[in-house]
Amino acid sequence: MIDLQRLPKAELHLHIEGTFEPELIFALSERNGVPLPYPDVQSLRDAYQFSDLQSFLDLYYAAMGVLRTERDFYELTSAYAQRAVTQGVRHAEIFFDPQAHLQRGIAFETVVDGITAALDDARRRTGLTSHLIMCFLRDLPAQAAFETLERAKTRRDRILAVGLDSAEVGNPPSKFATVFEQARAQGYLTVAHAGEEGPPEYIWQALDLLKVSRIDHGVRCLEDEKLVQRLRRQRTPLTVCPFSNVRLRVVDTLAHHPLKRMLDAGLVATVNSDDPAYFGGYIGDNFQGVAADLHLTDDDIVTLARNSFEGAFIDDMTRSRFLAEIEALHV
Ligand code: HPA
Ligand code: ZN
């Protein structure tokens, strides 16, 4: 029996603003004098009943309104790093949404400096390694993404990749082809959310127009056999988020989640937590949920852990070290 919490894993799909637990939201609301439209922690938690991606995003953006100072971003990120390490995360590639903060008058540097100070401390204390991925909000104009790319120049060395998130349907990857091209020219790697609520066509566009190294979510690829063949042949990692898909009604129950079918189709699927404070658990909890409800075998579990390091932006020596640790557990 594999210990799913301790199993070494990389987390590749995690929005730092989605790790904002209700207790910390309230503490920062008070400290910063930014009121919330909820009287207490319990009533905020009670509002976590989502009907789709947009209903979640409305609450997600409202809650992050209480994040104001570098210290706030430091505390948010430290709390995540601690939780992640207890659930077996050895390496994390973390999304953040700079536009959601810039729009509120928070400087780009305040956000990045708070997050990176916490990640630097976490690495010293626990060995957790990490990268930052800056996401563009796809429901804003492409021009706003260009401006964000420009703003990021003061912290270029702290950001490894750009991504694409927020409301997917009606905002195809093609809208961001030019800004992603510029980002690649500046040396950024690229990823994109695609095929969560949007159609397989958005996954094709992410591959062909944005030249992504990974697809975030991608569960709807199964509707297109040619696309499945392409993803399998290229070994494109898919950062699947099971609890998220259930909470946002992309799938009806965990028992019906397509993860097992994706593995059986030979896709490089990984398990991730997306916005764990909102969706009922962190990455180890997601592993436990799918292992039970999809009756995953030990081989499936080991494949998922291996895939997470195969998909990570780490060098081959580091990758081999992590893979050897997994093999040592699986005798
Ligand atoms: N999908 C799209 N945008 C997001 C998500 C998600 O699951 N979480 C935070 N921003
Ligand atoms: Zn996401």
Choose one of 14, 96, 140, 166 to mutate for the ligand 1 pocket test, by most ligand atoms within 8 angstroms of C-beta.
166
Sign of CA dihedral 146, 152, 153, 154: positive
Local confidence pLDDT in tens for the 331 residues of the chain: 899 999 999 999 999 999 999 999 999 999 999 999 999 999 999 999 999 999 999 999 999 999 999 999 999 999 999 999 999 999 999 999 999 999 999 999 999 999 999 999 999 999 999 999 999 999 999 999 999 999 999 999 999 999 999 999 999 999 999 999 999 999 999 999 999 999 999 999 999 999 999 999 999 999 999 999 999 999 999 999 999 999 999 999 999 999 999 999 999 999 999 999 999 999 999 999 999 999 999 999 999 999 999 999 999 999 999 999 999 987 6
What are 95's strand-pairing partners? 15, 133
Q: What share of the chain is helix, strand, coil (3-state, %, to 5)?
A: 55, 15, 30
Eight-class DSSP state of 188: -
Instruction: Choose, from 17, 70, 168, 196, the residue flagged as catalytic.
Output: 196
What's the 289 CA to ligand 1 centre distance in angstroms?
Answer: 20
CA distance 46 to 217: 26
Distance CA 114, CA 173 (A): 30
What is d(CA 166, CA 198) in angstroms, rounded to the nearest whole number? 12
pLDDT attached to residue 330: 77
Question: What spacing in Å lies between the alpha carbon of 165 and ligand 1's midpoint?
Answer: 5
Q: How confident is the model at residue 305, as a pLDDT?
A: 98
How many angstroms is it from 193 CA to the middle of ligand 2?
7
CB 253 within 8 A of CB 289: no
Reply yes or no on whether 196 is catalytic: yes
Q: What angle do CA 306, 256, 231 make, to 5 degrees?
A: 45
Pocket lining for ligand 1, CB < 6 angstroms:
15, 18, 53, 60, 165-166, 193, 196, 244, 274-275
Does the pTM surpass 0.95? The reply is yes
Name residue, tokens 């919490």.
5
- State the pLDDT at residue 41: 97
* Domain 9-329: assigned CATH number: 3.20.20.140
pLDDT at 331: 64
Pairing label, strands 268-271, 214-217? unpaired
